[in-house]
Chain A
């Protein structure tokens, strides 16, 4: 159902669809979700007998297991009025910021603009690139006041959200058999580390380039 490039009419329909999808979707409270993750990590830490860093590693591993399955279903199976999420997909890499923004809207509704800035796509001459997603408020850590950057060690608190975004792009590209590969989805700025905003960076490259380097 994806197209080569998103035209005006399809973009209009996606804009209408994302509102409707959000209204119809099952939701949870944003603060409640952030607090839940914090409290679960506390228990993970106790059970693993280690640091928050270990707890985050374990948590991230588990999200990765489930993410691919959940998202691939979401892309290929009808989610609303017989239409699947693949309707919003395009093979043109320049449509990636628009599609990503539509995804944010579908996730968090009209409040998305309070949280996310419009994604920034940087393309390199060799076809590789970076998608930078900046957050003015962090949905995962806004309610947290007892985690320091020392507690985090080398881990990122927002790796769950980074994994989610990276997996959506990976699964969408796999579905469309795109010649690109997601190399990394990582939290690069974090309020808990003292940065003035949150940021997730997704790097990708043409598969041909990756194979050549291997």
Chain B
């Protein structure tokens, strides 16, 4: 019989069809929206992502520590998806644009009234990755935001990390 730790490690390498997420995710957003309103819903769902990301990173220890390869590796591990990361520099900021064309939380066929970004939970996962990266490479102050969502009509989902320069 396998030990629980071994089963957990096994599960961190296994993937399951997105059917369960499609079945419960839209109703979860509606539930929070009705109970606590848009702002708190976004905060709660994003925090859920953060806590899941943290726990996953405790079991699966990625070799990558720098932000870009770490995020790519994390998206692959968590959602079996490839993301494109574009970088934009200005005098004051340094922006990473993470582009996901097959977000698991957005269903363009399901429109959730009043929800700007259905995949807001992904921001929490990204935050967990940034924290993980900062253990090795201290990071400057940053802001996170969801810029685009397939679930609200955009052609792809885009998350932005904006670092302050200097």
Contacts and interface: CB of A to CB of B under 8 A. Distances in A.
B28 interface: yes
A1 B113 CA distance: 36
Count class of interface residues, chain B:
35 or more
Given A39-B52, A142-B7, A27 B31 contact: no
A63 B15 contact: no
B7 to A, nearest CB: 5
Contacts, number: 136
Count class of interface residues, chain A:
35 or more
Given A39-B48, A40-B48, A67-B23, A27 B7 contact: no
A28 B31 contact: no
B61 interface: no
Contact of B20 (A33, A43, A48, A74): A33
Interface string B55-79: 1100110000000000000000111
Mostly helix, strand, loop or mixed at chain B's interface? helix
A121 interface: no
Interface of A: 22, 25-36, 39-40, 43-44, 47-48, 58-59, 62-63, 65-67, 70-71, 74, 106-109, 111, 114, 137, 139, 142-143, 145, 160-161, 164
Interface of B: 2, 4, 7-8, 10-12, 14-24, 26-28, 30-32, 35-36, 44, 47-49, 51-52, 55-56, 59-60, 77-81, 102, 104
